């Protein structure tokens, strides 16, 4: 497995993910359409011109998914049993078409599972930053992680 096991994570450990992504209009339109979100701020350039932003906003749930998705290769690929929850989700700055995003993930807590001997719980904090160095998204995610198999 490419992902890390529960034992491999340490509180305070930070991963600066090398994958970056420039967000396109197509990314935003497809994601918004696939999730049946009719919000004109994401889909209607003329409507968005009349908003305080003056242009379409990227769907924040796309930003959340991208931020967490980028972390998988470096952290949990094949070793996550399940996501248990996401909390403290914030979007302090908007994301626009053409923004390039990078992400980082920190381990803020870990503990043994009370119900499963083969797993532990890791709480990650994910951060997403645009090309101007502005934080555009942040969340905490609890994941049930596999322990290293006995040999």
Q: What is the 3-state secondary structure (H, E, C) of 32-49?
A: HHHCCCCCHHHHCHHHHH
SS3 state at 82 = strand
Q: Whole-prediction pTM value? A: 0.93
Q: Which residue has the tokens 């980082």?
A: 104
- Report the pLDDT averaged over residues 127-136: 98
What are the tens digits of pLDDT across the range 45-65? 999 999 999 999 999 999 999
What are the tens digits of pLDDT across the range 4-16? 999 999 999 999 9
Report the alpha-carbon distance of residue 118 to residue 147 in Å, rounded.
Answer: 5
The whole-number pLDDT of residue 1 equals 53
Instruction: State the pLDDT confidence band at 2, using cuts at 50, 70 and 90.
Output: confident
Q: Considering only CA atoms, which of 127, 128, 130, 137 is closest in space to residue 97? A: 130
Instruction: State the pLDDT confidence band at 86, using cuts at 50, 70 and 90.
Output: very high
- Report the pLDDT averaged over residues 133-140: 98
The whole-number pLDDT of residue 149 equals 86
Q: Considering only CA atoms, which of 117, 3, 10, 99 is closest in space to residue 57? A: 99
Residues of the chain with pLDDT > 90, as a percent, come to: 96
On whether the CB atoms of residues 74 and 105 are closer than 8 A, the answer is yes
On whether the CB atoms of residues 64 and 139 are closer than 8 A, the answer is yes
The whole-number pLDDT of residue 82 equals 96
- Report the pLDDT averaged over residues 123-150: 96
First to last CA, the chain: 15
- Report the pLDDT averaged over residues 19-30: 96
- Report the pLDDT averaged over residues 95-107: 98
SS3 state at 60 = helix
Structural domains present in the chain: 6-146 (3.10.129.10)
Residues facing 82 on adjacent strands: 144
Q: For residues 10-40, b (16+ Cβ closer than 10 Å) or e, as one string?
A: eeebebebeeebebeeebbeebbeeeeeeee
């Amino acid at each position: 497995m490419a992902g890390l096991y529960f034992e491999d994570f340490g509180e305070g450990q930070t991963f600066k993910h090398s994958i970056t992504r420039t967000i396109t209009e197509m990314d935003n339109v497809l994601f918004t359409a696939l999730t049946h979100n009719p919000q004109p701020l994401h889909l209607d350039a003329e409507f968005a011109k009349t908003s305080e932003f003056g242009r379409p906003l990227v769907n924040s749930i796309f930003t959340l998914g991208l931020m967490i998705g980028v972390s998988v290769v470096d952290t949990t690929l094949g070793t996550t049993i399940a996501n248990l929850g996401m909390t403290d989700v914030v979007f302090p700055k908007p994301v626009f078409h053409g923004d390039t995003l990078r992400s980082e993930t920190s381990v803020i807590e870990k503990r043994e599972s009370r119900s499963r001997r083969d797993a532990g719980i890791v709480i990650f904090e994910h951060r997403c930053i645009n090309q101007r160095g502005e934080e555009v998204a942040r969340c905490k995610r609890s994941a049930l992680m596999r322990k290293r198999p006995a040999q």
